[in-house]
Amino acid sequence: MTISEFQFDIKQGIPKELPQKKAIDPAINHAPKRKDILSKEEKELALRNALRYFPKQQHAELIPEFLDELTRFGRIYMYRFRPDYEMKARPINEYPGNSEQAKAIMLMIQNNLDYAVAQHPHELITYGGNGAVFQNWIQYRLCMKYLSEMTDEQTLVMYSGHPMGLFPSHKDAPRVVVTNGMVIPNYSKPDDWEKMNALGVSQYGQMTAGSYMYIGPQGIVHGTTITVLNAGRMIAKNGEDLSGKLFLTAGLGGMSGAQPKAASIAGCISVTAEVNEKAVHTRHSQGWVDEVISDLNDLCTRVKSAKANKEVVSIAYHGNVVSVWEKFLAEDIYVDLGSDQTSLHNPWAGGYYPMNMTLEAANDLMAADPEAFKIAIQDTLKRHAAAVNAHVAKGTYFFDYGNAFLLEASRAGADIMAQNGIDFKYPSYVQDIMGPMCFDYGFGPFRWVCASGKPEDLQKTDDIACAVLEEIMTTSPDEIKQQLADNIKWIKGAQANKLVVGSQARILYADAEGRMKIAAAFNKAIATGEIGPIILGRDHHDVSGTDSPYRETSNIYDGSRFTADMAIHNVIGDSFRGATWVSIHNGGGVGWGEVINGGFGMLLDGSDDAHRRLTMMLHWDVNNGIARRNWARNEGAVFAIKRAMEQEPRLKVTIPEMVDDVLLKNLFD
């Protein structure tokens, strides 16, 4: 298809004539059939809702088709309207439109749906089993059309994938405001999502899926590398590195697929179990995992030899992770580090698979008999936790990697609670590692995308970012030197690690100073013509953007970890300080109703306006969270916010007074 045909298709939005019906493509990874949760009346409502997008004369033809989709898949995806052009991030100048900012957003949307990037591209799911960009293909088409029409004096309003329309605004306002899954708090149980999503009125945006900020598994490779490296530092008895040590985990899906690569960068042996053969194949063929083994005895033999030779090797085990934990116990194979990244934020709809059942049988059971499926999952979770406990008793360091493993295991009745009955036996990686070492100091997953699509631009931005970090390192306090050093090492190795899947993107953990200085240097390089425009953003899994009591804010101990003021303030603050687009989501990472998370995107075009916006917005986007973490009495954050106040006199944050423990002791005995 030529560029002008592509542009015509974008601009036409909903085609006047019905396009040909599309058969389901078996070569593509599809979302599992969703629960049949609607009553007859509600199914009628779902159809009525879907038909709102189409002229009356097409309704009779579309009704049986949409009803068939609802019956077979539990959702109406409107497959017929999936465009024929290739779904990928194109260079920004290939998009039609009147606003460079809107074109940048189109690029990011297409990247989230790229077949090489998205988990279930035909169901518009980017990652995590249910992380949707849109609910159906008509919403995609309508959104792209609005973006191709809008000017810098309009804002597109997105309600859970539905483009409500263009509203007049001004050039400093966000071009798009996205909400996903925002519901009245009392209606935020998993079945509420199933129902509202089936009705076509809400969607699960995950974090960077519904906010158009996913950059493939690179983001999580970096976060996982940092986590595994620092977990390794925690278990090191004499400052030794991870060589010859074993990391056991599960999941080779959208995000979890990063684990073997990260483990290899961190320098250990990894075993990653995965039940889905397609997922195993994808990661193996991409070179993200070195070897595939499907027999447990072979796996044990291979792991023993890797340990003996201190190899750095990543092994995928095709099968259930619980069988590996149990087998390693029986074979007395010592696991140094253990975790899990199955999609337990979504346990009842395909995020976690039970033992002793094929993938197909499990997929059938979850739709045909959800209760029986739930029991099978809970039994597996109990076995899973029991095997982990037995390994931990022998010395394994196990951490929850933000997939709600501990939460769901506890709900299943597994032996996973600490003695006080309130906390879990094991820390989340944020409590032990990411919170105190990164978030409290403002370090988080800053990222950028080269809108030109040119690999040489990415190389230049890597060099610029590296130079900025090295400069900062010369005057940085000791508290953050390790973080800076890890990230300098990361950016130097980034090209060699071949992390780009989809758009020309890079991730880097940086604090407020680093993010602002890197962005300013990019903007300058754009102004001088050295590089093309850059799209800035970050993962929602960050210092300020996300309130999630068992993950991002699990190291908040003043009782406020179940509040979401920080995330809400963050998105509001970003929106009036110059973000190109902002988003706020219910659900993501750990489950619907369990987290509020938000993010932003920002186009840098080399202008003075872009410089003004980046300075104002990035400063807030990091320091909001540090201020809150400081108020929760987190030592690193108190240090970081005091330092930020010295650097910017207009910043004035309330600092907590610490009470002497002795004064509170025995008060209520």
Residues 463-502 that bind ligand NAD (CB under 6 A): none
Is the Cβ–Cβ distance between 392 and 400 less than 8 Å?
A: no
Residues 6+ apart with CB under 8 A from 392: 338, 398, 425, 426
Write the binding mask 123 to 162 for ligand NAD: x where contact by CB under 6 A, - elsewhere: ----xxx---------------------------------
Does 253 contact ligand NAD by CB under 6 A?
Answer: yes
- Please, which residue, 142 or 279, has the CB nearer to ligand NAD? 279
Q: Is 321 in the site for ligand NAD (CB under 6 A)?
A: yes
In this complex, which beta carbon is closest to ligand NAD, that of residue 439 or of residue 522? 439
Q: Which of 158, 213, 279, 407 binds ligand NAD (CB under 6 A)?
A: 279
Residue 283 lies near ligand NAD (rule: CB under 6 A)? no
Q: 425: which 2 tokens?
A: 């036996």
Q: How far is the CB of 436 from ligand NAD (least distance, A)?
A: 16
> 154 vs 227, which CB is nearer to ligand NAD?
227
- What is the DSSP annotation of 94-151? GS-SS-HHHHHHHHHHHHHH-TTT-SBGGGTEEETTTEES-SSHHHHHHHHHHHHH--
Beta carbons of 214 and 193 less than 8 angstroms apart: no
Minimum distance from CB of 533 to ligand NAD (Å)?
28
- Radius of gyration from C-alpha coordinates of the chain: 24
Give 37 or 248: the residue with its C-beta nearer to ligand NAD.
Answer: 248
Q: Which of 29, 98, 276, 497 binds ligand NAD (CB under 6 A)?
A: 276
By CB under 6 A, residue 352 contacts ligand NAD: yes
DSSP helix/strand/coil, 610: helix
Sign of CA dihedral 601, 606, 607, 609: positive
Span near ligand NAD by CB under 6 A; candidates 254-262, 562-570, 640-648, 654-662: 254-262
Nearest residue (CB) to ligand NAD, 250 versus 464: 250
Binding of residue 338 to ligand NAD (CB under 6 A) = no
Shortest Å, Cβ 146 to ligand NAD: 29
Query: Which one among 202, 230, 256, 553 touches ligand NAD, defined by CB under 6 A?
Result: 256
Binding residue for ligand NAD (CB under 6 A) from 81, 398, 401, 620? 401
444-450 and 534-538 strand pairing: antiparallel
Cβ nearer to ligand NAD, comparing 169 with 570: 570
Total residues in contact with ligand NAD, by rule CB under 6 A: 33
- Closest approach, Cβ 224 to ligand NAD, in A, equals 7
541 part of the interface to ligand NAD, by CB under 6 A: yes
Assess 341 for contact with ligand NAD (CB under 6 A): yes
Element (H, E) at 566: helix 565-576
Residue 274 found at the interface with ligand NAD (CB under 6 A): yes
589 binding ligand NAD? (CB under 6 A): yes
Residue 2 CB, nearest distance to ligand NAD (Å)? 34
546 binds ligand NAD (CB under 6 A): no
Query: Which residue from 83, 251, 453, 599 is in contact with ligand NAD, where contact means CB under 6 A?
Result: 251
Sheet holding 291-293, edge to edge: 291-293, 314-318, 269-274, 246-250, 337-338, 397-398
Contacts of 480 (CB under 8 A, 6+ apart): 441, 443, 511
Task: Characterize the bridge pairing of strands 246-250 and 337-338.
Answer: parallel
Which run of H or E residues covers position 535? strand 534-538
Q: What is the DSSP string of 8-37?
A: HHHHH-S-SSPPPP----TTS--PPPPP--
Residue 657 amino acid letter: E
192 vs 542, beta carbon nearer ligand NAD: 542
State the nearest-atom distance from the C-beta of 128 to ligand NAD, in Å: 4
- Interface with ligand NAD includes 275 (CB under 6 A)? yes
State yes or no: residue 343 binds ligand NAD (CB under 6 A). Answer: yes
Give the nearer residue to ligand NAD in terms of CB position, either 202 or 225: 225
Stretch that binds ligand NAD, among 1-9, 48-56, 398-406, 660-668 (CB under 6 A): 398-406
Under 8 Å between Cβ of 454 and 532:
yes
Q: 537: which strand partners?
A: 447, 601
Q: Across the chain, which distance is largest between two alpha carbons, in Å?
A: 78
- Per CB under 6 A, the list member of 254, 347, 533, 578 interacting with ligand NAD is 254
Q: Rule CB under 6 A: choose which of 402, 436, 533, 625 binds ligand NAD.
A: 402
The reply on whether position 342 binds ligand NAD by CB under 6 A is: yes
User: What residue has token string 């024929």?
Assistant: 84
Smallest gap from Cβ 7 to ligand NAD, in A, equals 32
Q: Which amino acid is at 257?
A: G
Indicate which single residue of 193, 328, 353, 550 sits in contact with ligand NAD (rule: CB under 6 A).
Answer: 353
- Per the structure block, which two tokens stand in for 197? 């999503």
Strand pairing of 444-450 and 131-132?
unpaired
* Binders of ligand NAD in range 503-522 (CB under 6 A): none
The distance of Cα 505 from the centroid of its chain, to the nearest Å, equals: 15
181 binds ligand NAD (CB under 6 A): no
255 binds ligand NAD (CB under 6 A): yes
Q: Check residue 403 for interaction with ligand NAD (CB under 6 A).
A: yes
What interhelical angle do 137-149 and 100-113 show, nearest 10? 160
- Beta strands 596-604 and 534-538 are antiparallel
User: Which phi-psi region, left, alpha or beta, contains residue 202 (left: φ > 0; alpha: ψ -120 to 50)?
Assistant: beta
Contact residues for 294 (Cβ-Cβ < 8 A; gap 6+): 317, 318, 319
Q: Which is nearer to ligand NAD, 355 or 458 (CB)?
A: 355
Residue 370 CB, shortest distance to ligand NAD, in Å, is 17
Nearest Cα to Cα of residue 137 among 129, 125, 128, 127: 125
Q: Which is nearer to ligand NAD, 424 or 522 (CB)?
A: 424
Contacts (CB under 6 A) with ligand NAD, residues 184-223: 220, 223
Helix (H) / strand (E) containing 382: helix 370-393
Helix (H, G, I), strand (E, B) or coil at 202: coil
3-state secondary structure 450-496: ECCCCHHHHHHHHHHHHHHHHHHHCCCCHHHHHHHHHHHHHHHHCCC
Residue nearest to ligand NAD (CB): 253
The answer to whether 429 and 400 have CB atoms below 8 angstroms apart is yes
Which range, of 21-29, 337-345, 570-578, 628-636, touches ligand NAD by CB under 6 A? 337-345
Judged by CB under 6 A, the residue of 166, 242, 273, 376 near ligand NAD is 273
Task: Specify the residue, 46 or 416, whose C-beta has the smaller distance to ligand NAD.
Answer: 416
Binding site for ligand NAD (CB under 6 A): 119, 127-129, 220, 223, 250-256, 273-276, 279, 320-321, 341-345, 351-353, 401-403, 541, 589
